[in-house]
């Protein structure tokens, strides 16, 4: 089943430095390494063409939650065949404004509008730039 799960290897959102204080300073950590995205919280149904991802913000008040969700969504849109319907949401009970964020992420038009915003798109793209490019 988890054929599509291998795609999750994002760079951490707020850059490399802030994460050096977490156990392994060798590498800038990815969302996967931070356990924000875990394999067990990814549901793929190949027959019904659906992909669901639940992500866990590092702290309940994480201000980056929407951005992380948006980045995951964009990464999936770019990486999965068009036939899939993509659903990205916060792991229940792990964020203070869970419902608001989920609503934003589920709203196609708001996602599209967000990606029209070049500043926001820039941040999202930076999150998705592969490690090879960074120094």
Partner 1 sequence: MDRSRFMMAADSANLVGLVEEFVLGQQDSKAADTATGLKEEQFTILQLVEALGLHLTNSQPQTRGRGVQLLSSVLQTCHGDLTEGEVEVLLAFYEQRLKDHYVITPHVLQGLKALTKCLVLPPGSAVSILKSLFQDVHVQSLMLAERSCVYNILIQLMESKESELKGLGADFVFGFVQSVDGERDPRNLLLAFQIAGKIINGGYDLGKFTEELFEVTSCYFPIDFSPPPNDPHGITQEELILALRAVLTGTPRFAEFLLPLIIEKLDSDIPSAKLDSLQTLTACASVYEHKELAEFLPGLWASLRREVFQTASEKVELACLAALSALTACLSQSVLNSDSEDYLNIFLDLVLKDCKHHLCEPDLKLVWPSAKLLQATSSASYSACHIVAAAVMPSLIEQYNSRTQCAQRRTLLEVLQGFVQSVRSSQEDDSVLLDFRQSLCGIVFSALSESNAGLQITSMRVLTALGQQTGLLVESDVKLAVDHLSKIILEEIDDSVSLAVVESAGALARLYPAAFISNMVPQLKGNIFSEAMAQGDGAAASQEHSQQALRRRCVTALAAVSSQPSVVQETTPVLIQVLTSAHTGTGSFSLEEVIAVCHSLQRIAEQAEDTEETGRVFHDIIIPRLLGLALQAALNGKDSSDQRSPLVEETVLLAMVPVISITCSRLQSQLAGQTAVRSVSLFLDSDVSFLPENAFPSQFQLLKMHRSDSWRQSQTVCLLMGCVCSLPRGVEIPQVDRLLLELEELSCTCEHPLSYTSAAKCYAGLVNKRPAGEALESVIDRMLKRISTELDSTASSVRTQAFTLLLWVAKALLIRYHPLSTTLTDKLFSLLSDPELGLLAADGFSVLMSDSTDVLHRGCHADVRIMYRQRFFTENSSKLVQGFNSALPEKKSCYLKALSHILTNLPRQVQITEIPALLPLLLEALSCPDQGVQHSTLSCLQPVLLDPPSALINQLEALVGRMLPLTTSPSMKVRIVSLRCVHALSRFPEHEIMPYRARVLRALATPLDDGKRMVRSEAVVARNEWFLLGSPGGR
Q: Which residues bind partner 1 (CB under 8 A)?
A: 3-4, 6-7, 16-17, 20-26, 28, 75, 78-83, 118-119, 121-126, 128-130, 133-135
- Helix H, strand E, coil C: the string for 51-115 is EEEEECCCCCCCCCHHHHHHHHHHHHHHHCCCCCEEEEEECCCCCCCHHHHHHHHHCHHHHHHHH
Smallest gap from Cβ 32 to partner 1, in A, equals 15
Decide whether 20 or 43 has the Cβ nearer to partner 1.
Answer: 20
Decide whether 93 or 116 has the Cβ nearer to partner 1.
Answer: 116
Decide whether 25 or 60 has the Cβ nearer to partner 1.
Answer: 25
Smallest gap from Cβ 99 to partner 1, in A, equals 29
Smallest gap from Cβ 98 to partner 1, in A, equals 27
First to last CA, the chain: 35
Strand partners, 30: 11
């Amino acid at each position: 089943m988890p054929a599509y799960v291998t795609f999750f290897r994002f760079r951490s959102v707020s850059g490399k430095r802030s994460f050096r204080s977490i156990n392994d300073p060798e590498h800038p950590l990815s969302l996967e390494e931070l356990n924000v995205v875990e394999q067990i919280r990814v549901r793929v149904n190949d027959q019904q063409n659906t992909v669901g991802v639940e992500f866990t913000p590092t702290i309940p008040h994480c201000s980056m939650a929407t951005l992380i969700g948006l980045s995951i969504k964009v990464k999936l849109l770019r990486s999965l065949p068009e036939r899939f319907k993509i659903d990205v949401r916060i792991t229940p009970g792990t964020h203070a404004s869970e419902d608001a964020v989920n609503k934003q992420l589920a709203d196609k038009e708001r996602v599209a509008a967000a990606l029209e915003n070049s500043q926001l798109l820039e941040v999202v793209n930076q999150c998705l730039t592969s490690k090879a490019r960074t120094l």
